[in-house]
Structure 1
Amino acid sequence: MTSVQISTDINSLEQQAQQYFIKGNYTQAASCYEQAIEIEPEVKSHYWNLGLMLLLQGQEAEAQMTWLLGMEEGEVQQVEQWTAELIKVLQTEAERRETLAEYSVAWAIRQHIREISPQYVNNLLYLIELSIKQETFTGDELTSLELIELIQSEEIIDIELLLQVLESILNEDPLHPSVLEFAEACLVHISQPQPFINIVLPAAVKIAHSMRQPQVAILMTELCLRLEPERIEILRHLAAFYFKDNNYSRGIEVAKLCYSLSKTVSDKLFAKHLIQRGLMEAPAYWNEACVVFREQESLLISLIEEQPTNLESFTVLWLFNTNYYAAYLRDDPEQNRQIQNHLVQVCQLNVQEYAQEKVQRYGSRQLSRGTKQLKIGYLSHCLSRHSVGWLARWLIQHHNREKFDIYGYFINYKQVDDPLQEWYVQQFTEVYKGGIYSDDIAEKIYEDEIDILIDLDSITLDITCEIMAFKPAPVQATWLGWDASGIPTVDYFIADPYVLPESAQEYYTEKIWRLPQTYIAVDGFEVGIPTLRRDSLDIPSDAVVYLSAQRGFKRHPDTARLQMRIIKEVPNSYFLIKGIADTEAVQKFFMELAEEEGVEFSRLRFLPLDISESVHRANLAIADIVLDTYPYNGATTTLETLWMGIPLVTRVGKQFAARNSYTMMMNVGVTEGLAWTDEEYVNWGVRLGKDEALRQQIAWKLRLSKQTAPLWNAKQFTLEMEKAYEQMWQKYIGNS
């Protein structure tokens, strides 16, 4: 047989083999390669392909024998070359199978590549990626494949593949113990920091907020800092994660570094906002917090006067809630709201610049004027075990499904076991379990053709603010979660006759929509078994027990000093202090105040947080009187106090945050304990402490109120809210 004939026959066999292979007829393809080997035993590619055909038929041992046969009697260098050729053949087929979404076949082929070359890192990375796609990834593969050690020692690695696998792992199982070590190992190969940061930083945000694991998020973020130690964006997130982990001193330190590196007014503003957040969670630093607030307000005024319209979207996001703490520091709604309104107008102008097409498209929605059910959308990051989640559920439960379709838009849907969150998921007509991207959530609201969008977050979350600024629904209102945001695209702020004074419309940009009785009502609260006893706290059974259970934000020194005066004037009284804050700083804060006011340290008790909300409510019963905070009152805590039948002393102010307890007490029929001045606050506190009969009278009133008061009639409240929605819609239709 001539060389020409041999060449012709081989070409013919290879073509036939390829055709059989594409059709999945591996037996015939194998036969062709066997014939090719008989004709050209020295051509190694025939062995590689024959082995592949046998492997695809499940004949793994035969495949391996074929490959070994092809490598017989080769020198070391030849065997290395042939091994590389074999791996290339197998790799090509694995890649083809992956494009066909035949992940199990691709994985099996790559397992054989691993057997041939166990330290081939890129192949191991593909194995991880394929196990994720097959949903078989456990995280243990990172150690069982010795991948982390190999990444640290190998010099030549496909960086794009490495980052792709890192992103997949962080999406799949970010909390596995080996994931952080894997991410750290990747740093050796990173020459351009940005792609790594773009993957790891969003994952850290998800870990901290959706998974509630701030310590892991801190470690992840510190990896980004190794690459860019003075990157402001990274430092901002790191400070926030420290605060979430209750490590306020470290968070303040990072926030101050962030400020020192800031160049623009907007960057300085947000850094000051972070510093203030940390300082206010630790009341011992309250004086410094006030100084920082004045500095921040000066920066806010500068920004407002500048009226920039070229800010990037992430900067605008941060700016939305930089005036958040004003209401905690002073009861001056005219000034607070003037600054807030102007600030969010600047944000709105910039949103309209960088999202012009989106805003115009949303604004040009064509209305359907039929008799269809109104679509009400509820937007929040708090539809879970959160104060807003506990309170909003009654409205959702009592909604008339024959008249309204209700949609739930979860921002940063929590990837944790949260029964209340899952309860909400079951209640809505449609549910969108959103992440942390405003664009995606706003687009879904628009596509769902929501008629009225209810914002439950206000300026407590920047993402919510940006969504509302896009105006994906024709009618938008703020309710429950906080005071009004002032964003120009929000039409209404839902209030009642008491929670805002009559003059409030003068300094609100939103139309205040006052419900006839109360802006919130609940049918009650679940109450567990108490875990607190007076004897375990070394408190006599005949003592008068006062309680304050609030966040560190709310512990204004002036009000805390009034509380000390009450304790001092009531013999045999004790003060229980509980809340989320820097525990050590809170104790120092109250100890110093007690010393100033002449109150013995032994009359103060600092309580840890309870294991659940229901136990917290049960433990309220240890108190004879609850002392409210000012200028920011309790809200959920006030409702819980009244539900448990405990007298409350509250200082009524002018702003929304200073009138929450006032409207709740009015809507439960109790005026005893309402103080309009500091002196009245002290007088009521002392009087209730000394007058047991009065306390019993109030407790009896509260008990009777459960059958009659608007505050405990969520069905009636829901009817009033639904009537408001219908009127808002009719007004909108009339103006269109």
Structure 2
Amino acid sequence: MPSLDELYRAAIRAHQQRQADAAGRLYDEILAKRPAHAGALHLKGVLALQAGDYPAAARLIERSLEIEPRHALALSNLGVAYRALKRYDAAIEVLRRAVALDPRSADAWGNLGQTLARTGQMSEAVTSSKRALAIDPNRLGLQSALLFAENYIAGSDPVAMADRARAVGGMIAQKIPARSVHANDPDPARRLRVGLLSADLRAHPVGRFLAGVLPELDGRAVELFAYSNTDEEDAVSDLMRAAVPHWLNVTGLSDRDLDARIVADGIDILIDLSGHTAGNRMMVVARKPTPVIFSWIGYFATTGLASVDYVLANKWVIPEAEEAQWSERPWRLPDTYICYAVPRDPLPPTPLPAAGSGYITFGCFNNFNKLTDATFAAWSALLAAVPGSRLLLRSSGYDNSEILAGLRDGLAGAGIDLERVRIDGRIKDYAAHLASYGEIDIALDPFPYNGGTTTVEALYMGVPVLVRAGDRYVAHMGESILHTAGLPEWIAADEADYAVRGARLAADLEALAALRAGLRARVLASPLFDAPRFARHLEAAMRGMWVTWCAAQGRG
């Protein structure tokens, strides 16, 4: 009869060889003989974690830590289980314990960085992720996550970030060479098979953008395929599914299998709607399963991948002077690069709040992870320039006591009197969220990571938005929206102009009231809400990309 140690070694071998059933039986045999075997409890928990049974994983690893509380790897794995269960505070606590016990653990630092990013604590997320990559730079998933997180950091150099993205793209290409030959028929005029690849085909800004546009695409010109990489499909997913003849949930497919499926589907153009955001399938995109790939709306910086041919944009988000920030070739649409659907059961805009209160209420409903020290400084100057004004903040993302404490510290550190600030909790009901714009007179856009959905929502509800001109795509989004809506006077040239311009516009209550009364009709008449027009521009862009590829094959 094998000893307990021999059984444990056999279980680990089976686990390493991905023989999950055999490993599970061996762990059970060990635990039947010694219920307090910390190693078997931990590794059986890891099996559950790998199988997606997060509650069981948490229970098992917690039991192992009751026996061996200073086991750094077990703490790190417990953090992953807690994160999957959206127990973010608990995850951060155990992961911080893990890195304290084992500061050379790339696993623990990487897990901490990704959990902090999930909760919006981007500066600390970047620091933790860099600690992990200093130990093990070959973690491509973490490299990707770091590229995304760095977009939130004020003062970062966009050209240096683009260079780093190219370097990561090169690392990915070395591991996963891109396909150079495609069997697609290079007929420039035929109907195109177009794939949508995203983890956000749901109640998410990406899903809401697409829900209004996809039904307007000409089915005679394009045949749509959706590759949905999320388990959170919902009513918005259902809206899109009605316009997409071929819908496949791909969460269970390996990168190799998904690549093969896209090739088998004969996709001509793949639209990557995730970039380096959570749930991306960059390792599939890197394989270049289609002749043409372009990046659009889900990510607002270069992917760094040579396999991605284009980024869909306009002249405002990618001016010619900033093309060095991209490994992709910009394909510019004539006006807006995004289009919004009119909300169901729309509420009418309210009268100007300041007309009744006697003071201006500024507001920002962007995720708190977008609020930088530079943004706080600009808001401080604006509040000082508009005596008696108030500031209303609310995040649609995750918040907790630590995040709120950090937010208050940032505001106070910029010299903002917290008595003038109200911080509301998240509103999950979308109609109630839109109605809450009735409490603010002027919306404030953060920087460098601008709002997108929140900016258009504000305009739709009659609330003008003050934005600052930027130096990269993600910092130009507010400019693009306001130019398209015909509101360039609400774009500040820099931080100093932000306060001066904002104070001047806030001082004229009569003009504000008139603008509020007509703003919805104005934006509804603009390209921002003209889905048929946008669909024609999108079709023309895709056709142009396809013709370019066909010409390179000797057809055109």
TM range (shorter): 0.7 to 0.9
Distance in 1 (alpha carbons) for counterparts of 2:496 and 2:467: 12
Shift in alpha-carbon separation, 1:297–1:616, aligned structure 2, 3 A? same
1:430 to 223, 246, 249: 246
Query: How does 1:36-51 map onto structure 2 within 5 Å?
Result: none
Shift in alpha-carbon separation, 1:534–1:685, aligned structure 2, 3 A? closer
Question: What letter matches 2:334 in structure 1?
Answer: P
Specify every segment of 5 or more residues in structure 1 that has no aligned partner in the other structure, as ranges. Answer: 1-158, 168-183, 208-214, 304-310, 353-358
Shift of 1:256: 6.3
Find out whether 1:334 has 2:159 as its counterpart: yes
State the partner residue of 1:453. Answer: 270
Shift of 1:413: 3.0
Distance in 1 (alpha carbons) for counterparts of 2:60 and 2:42: 15
Find out whether 1:411 has 2:251 as its counterpart: no
| TM-score computed with the length of structure 2 as normaliser | 0.82
Q: Contact (CA 8 Å) 2:184, 2:291: kept in 1 or not?
A: no
Q: Contact (CA 8 Å) 2:92, 2:116: kept in 1 or not?
A: no
| TM-score computed with the length of structure 1 as normaliser | 0.63
Shift of 1:636: 0.9
State the partner residue of 1:521. Answer: 339
Larger deviation, residues 660-669 vs 639-648: 639-648
State the partner residue of 1:147. Answer: none
State the partner residue of 1:128. Answer: none
Q: Contact (CA 8 Å) 1:645, 1:700: kept in 2 or not?
A: yes
Q: Contact (CA 8 Å) 1:545, 1:624: kept in 2 or not?
A: yes
State the partner residue of 2:120. Answer: 281
State the partner residue of 1:384. Answer: 202
Shift in alpha-carbon separation, 1:592–1:255, aligned structure 2, 3 A? closer
Q: Contact (CA 8 Å) 1:316, 1:350: kept in 2 or not?
A: no
Q: What is the number of equivalent residue pairs in this alignment?
A: 524
2:541 to 724, 732, 735: 724
Q: Contact (CA 8 Å) 1:577, 1:605: kept in 2 or not?
A: yes
Query: How does 1:255-334 map onto structure 2 within 5 Å?
Result: 257-258=98-99, 261=102, 263=104, 270=110, 273-274=113-114, 277=117, 281-282=120-121, 299=134, 303=137, 315-330=139-154, 331-334=156-159
* 1:681-725 deviations in Å (ceiling 9; x for gaps): 112222233221232343356334235311121211111111111
State the partner residue of 1:196. Answer: 44
Shift of 1:567: 2.3
Larger deviation, residues 483-492 vs 590-599: 590-599
Larger deviation, residues 665-674 vs 572-581: 572-581
Shift of 1:616: 0.8
Distance in 1 (alpha carbons) for counterparts of 2:305 and 2:71: 33
Find out whether 1:346 has 2:171 as its counterpart: yes
State the partner residue of 2:390. Answer: 574
State the partner residue of 1:564. Answer: 380
* 1:622-681 deviations in Å (ceiling 9; x for gaps): 110111101111011111111112111111211111111110100110012211210111
2:439 to 610, 613, 622: 622
Shift of 1:373: 1.6
Give the number of the structure whose alpha-carbon radius of gyration is greater.
1
Structure 1 vs Structure 2: percent identity of aligned residues? 21
Shift in alpha-carbon separation, 1:730–1:683, aligned structure 2, 3 A? same
Question: What letter matches 1:440 in structure 2?
Answer: D
Q: Contact (CA 8 Å) 1:652, 1:662: kept in 2 or not?
A: yes
Shift of 1:241: 4.1
State the partner residue of 2:287. Answer: 470
Shift of 1:607: 0.8
Structure 2 residue matching 1:550: 3-state secondary structure: coil
Structure 2 residue matching 1:245: 3-state secondary structure: coil
* 1:184-233 deviations in Å (ceiling 9; x for gaps): 999949876797356411344x76xxxxxxx7875576468789975759
State the partner residue of 1:505. Answer: 323
Shift in alpha-carbon separation, 1:186–1:640, aligned structure 2, 3 A? farther
State the partner residue of 1:654. Answer: 471
Quote the RMSD (CA, aligned, Å): 3.9
Shift of 1:332: 2.4
1:705 to 516, 522, 527: 522
Q: Contact (CA 8 Å) 2:365, 2:454: kept in 1 or not?
A: yes
Q: Contact (CA 8 Å) 1:647, 1:699: kept in 2 or not?
A: yes
Structure 2 residue matching 1:659: 3-state secondary structure: helix
State the partner residue of 2:220. Answer: 402
Specify every segment of 5 or more residues in structure 2 that has no aligned partner in the other structure, as ranges. Answer: 1-13, 25-30
Distance in 2 (alpha carbons) for counterparts of 1:541 and 1:692: 12
2:311 to 477, 484, 493: 493
Distance in 2 (alpha carbons) for counterparts of 1:187 and 1:444: 46
State the partner residue of 1:137. Answer: none
State the partner residue of 2:11. Answer: none
Structure 2 residue matching 1:720: 3-state secondary structure: helix
Distance in 2 (alpha carbons) for counterparts of 1:381 and 1:187: 43
Q: Contact (CA 8 Å) 1:239, 1:251: kept in 2 or not?
A: no
Distance in 2 (alpha carbons) for counterparts of 1:515 and 1:617: 29
Q: Contact (CA 8 Å) 2:364, 2:443: kept in 1 or not?
A: yes
More helix per residue: 1 or 2?
Answer: 1
Structure 2 residue matching 1:379: 3-state secondary structure: strand
Shift in alpha-carbon separation, 1:224–1:615, aligned structure 2, 3 A? farther
Structure 1 residue matching 2:242: 3-state secondary structure: helix
Structure 1 residue matching 2:276: 3-state secondary structure: helix
